[in-house]
Structure 1
Amino acid sequence: MTTIPVQAISPVPDRVAGRESQMSRFVVKVIGLCAQDKRAQADLRSGLGLPYERCHRLHRHLVRLVPRDVRHAAARRPYYAVAALIAARSRSAREEEAARAEDLAVQRKQARAAESAVEGSVASEAVPDPATGVDAGRVWRERVSLGASLAEAVNNGLLKPDSAESELHYMARVGSDSLHMRLPALMRQLNGRGVALDWAVLLEDLSWWDRHQDRVATRWLEDFFRVRMAEQSADSAASGLDRGESVADRDDDHNDVTPEENE
């Protein structure tokens, strides 16, 4: 599986930590609701690709989960869209998230133990969300964007490079209505296939789309090419190592020739 490198920029100016954690909590609550109540999951799934005004079956579940200060329909739509996408995850996608959460928990525990072993150091308190497998303690700009996820899908052979890049360029040009309609089909190509998705980051990006579309789209494209180039560099290094070993093997074979054979 591809390792997604750290992102270099933030998609929008002046991110607020409280807003980020608020969105992460919403995602965790939606995932928990889907796990506990299959009827609720079906209701949320019915909102795939629909505008906020037509998500009639979602209100009974999301009215209490969407932050109270998010009141305008356009501002609420990203929450409804992400909730529907989460509800539409396949069983394999849910299992992948659980496995990723377990792996991150082990890594974080080992890191805290290592930090505690250093005299005068303070162990990190950051832990992964138990439901999503996302390390909630990572700096927001270091978390996985949609562009990085698409690049990971390409690196894993799930999508063709040109198709994934064209999809990003298309989304960069369209308004929120077309973007929201496009996401369900795109997510179906990624869910449950070993690709990391950060629902809270996607929610944040969709929330900024109407006001900072160019910034968000630029981040998606930069992350896409950054992850792609990292994979290509790793492949080139591996190929170079293989070629080096081949040359060394040939040299060894040459050195094994006896003087009599040379004559």
Structure 2
Amino acid sequence: MTMTTPQAPDDSSLPQPAIPKQATAEHRRRETAFVAWVEQLCAADPGARTALRSGLRKNLDAVPQMHRVVAPWLPTDSTPTDTQRAYYTVASMIAAQPSSAFVLPNPLTDDHDQHATVDAPQPSPRGTPGFGQSLGIAFAKAVVQSPGRDKTMREATAESRLNLLTRQSVPGLHRHLPAAVAYLRACDVPVDWAQLLTDLTHWRRHSGRITRRWLQDYYRLREKDNRQAAARRDEEDTQNTPEDPAP
């Protein structure tokens, strides 16, 4: 199977990125398409996956093997360093997932030529710009036991790891994030890579607001889960309580 160079959407006229909630639809489409492309590439091309994985926790000048995949997706030739690093970091974290995270189309069941080249996916349809699932939601989900998951994260661990990330500078976040994300994936918790890419891009200017969203999402979902767990216990107690004998 061969790889063709991805044709990233042209948005040279786009305004500079603002706070994530105000990110343009074009930026969101690019980020979503980039994530889909990297996932598809990792499934189809082990060599490309190895090249991307080699950039984990490294700076931009130490990842020559990644450029052929990531560079065509950078918005412009003068893309800010923070944006570049966000793209490279997310690509390396996607590639660092276990092989089981990547699924190729089944040639026996899907209408797909098994000898076809891997083309860059088309951007998703334009939608309303907004937030995806934050890292706070991912950590909250890691604490909750759910069907099909053999491993959960202790609540104290989840809270500690999330708080550690929120206190980081840009270099610190890129240094600590791979281990945190790997833990989430080990717990079989999905990560919204496109939203994480947005957050990394804007971290230097808007880390306070992003941090607030991560923590609010985490504690909001934890409180909801606690209420539901309490309701289930109450229902079980009611069902297990013997009825008073009739007089």
TM-score band (shorter)? 0.7 to 0.9
Which structure shows the bigger proportion of residues in helix conformation? Answer: 1
Alignment of 1:1-263 (within 5 A): 12-68=20-76, 71-94=79-102, 140-141=130-131, 143-156=132-145, 158-247=152-241, 249-251=242-244, 254-255=245-246
Q: Moved runs in structure 1, 4+ residues, more than 6 A?
A: 134-139
* Rounded Cα–Cα distance in structure 1 between residues aligned with 2:204 and 2:174: 12
1:93 is displaced (CA, Å) by 2.9
1:192 is displaced (CA, Å) by 4.9
Secondary structure in structure 1 of the residue aligned to 2:187: coil
- Which range moves more in the overlay, 183-192 or 193-202? 183-192
1:246 is displaced (CA, Å) by 2.6
* Rounded Cα–Cα distance in structure 1 between residues aligned with 2:125 and 2:236: 35
* Rounded Cα–Cα distance in structure 2 between residues aligned with 1:25 and 1:70: 20
> What is the letter of the counterpart of residue 234 of structure 2?
G
* Rounded Cα–Cα distance in structure 1 between residues aligned with 2:72 and 2:129: 28
Query: For residues 36-84 of structure 1, what are the alpha-carbon distances to aligned partners after superposition, in whole Å with 9 as ceiling and x for unaligned?
Result: 2111110000000111222221112211122236623222000000000
Over alpha carbons, which structure has the higher Rg?
Answer: 1
Are the equivalent residues in 2 in contact too, given 1:147–1:222 (CA < 8 A)? yes
What stretches of structure 1 of length at least 5 have no aligned partner? 1-10, 99-130
Are the equivalent residues in 2 in contact too, given 1:33–1:40 (CA < 8 A)? yes
Query: For residues 65-108 of structure 1, what are the alpha-carbon distances to aligned partners after superposition, in whole Å with 9 as ceiling and x for unaligned?
Result: 2223662322200000000001111123336x99xxxxxxxxxx
* Rounded Cα–Cα distance in structure 1 between residues aligned with 2:126 and 2:175: 28
Q: CA RMSD in A?
A: 2.6
TM-score, normalised to structure 1, is 0.71
Structure 2 vs 1, CA of residues 71 and 137 (structure 1 numbering), >3 Å: closer, same or farther?
closer
- Which range moves more in the overlay, 163-172 or 205-214? 163-172
Are the equivalent residues in 2 in contact too, given 1:52–1:77 (CA < 8 A)? yes
Are the equivalent residues in 2 in contact too, given 1:145–1:202 (CA < 8 A)? yes
Are the equivalent residues in 1 in contact too, given 2:29–2:125 (CA < 8 A)? no
**Number of residue pairs the alignment of both structures matches:** 207
Are the equivalent residues in 1 in contact too, given 2:25–2:128 (CA < 8 A)? no
Are the equivalent residues in 1 in contact too, given 2:42–2:95 (CA < 8 A)? yes
TM-score, normalised to structure 2, is 0.76
